[in-house]
Structure 1
Amino acid sequence: MKTVGERIKEVRKALGLSGEAFGKPIGLSRGALSNIERNTNGASDRTIRLICSKYCVDYFWLTEGMGEMFIDDMDAILEELAAEKGYDADTLRIMKKLYSLPNDQFNLVMQLIDNLVEKKTSNPV
Structure 2
Amino acid sequence: MTENERVRELRKTLGLTLEKFGERLGVKKNAISAIENGRNSLTDQMTKAICREFGVDYIWLTTGEGEMFVDTDDDFIERIDRIMAGEDEARKNLFKFMLELSDEDIAALDRLMKKAIRFSKGEIDE
Q: Residues 1-125 of structure 1 correspond to what in structure 2 (within 5 A)?
A: 2-73=1-72
Amino acid at match of 1:37: E
Query: How far is the alpha carbon of 1:27 from its aligned partner?
Result: 1.5
Structure 2 CA distance, aligned partners of 1:73 and 1:42?
29
* Aligned residues between the structures: 75
TM-score for both structures, normalised by structure 2 = 0.56
Identity %: 45
Query: How far is the alpha carbon of 1:73 from its aligned partner?
Result: 3.7
Structure 2 CA distance, aligned partners of 1:40 and 1:68?
26
- Look up the SS of the partner of 1:40 in the other structure: coil
Structure 2 CA distance, aligned partners of 1:8 and 1:68?
14
**Shift >2 Å, 4+ stretches:** none
Amino acid at match of 1:8: V
- Offset from partner CA, 1:61-103 (integer Å, 9 cap, x none): 00000000011248x7xxxxxxxxxxxxxxxxxxxxxxxxxxx
Query: How far is the alpha carbon of 1:55 from its aligned partner?
Result: 0.3
Structure 2 CA distance, aligned partners of 1:50 and 1:71?
14
Structure 1 CA distance, aligned partners of 2:19 and 2:67?
25
Query: How far is the alpha carbon of 1:3 from its aligned partner?
Result: 0.8
Note the residue ranges of structure 1 that are not aligned, 5 or more in a row: 77-125
Query: How far is the alpha carbon of 1:43 from its aligned partner?
Result: 1.2
Relative CO higher for 1 or 2, CA cutoff 8 Å, sep ≥ 6?
2
Worse overlay, 64-73 or 7-16 = 64-73
Structure 2 CA distance, aligned partners of 1:28 and 1:68?
25
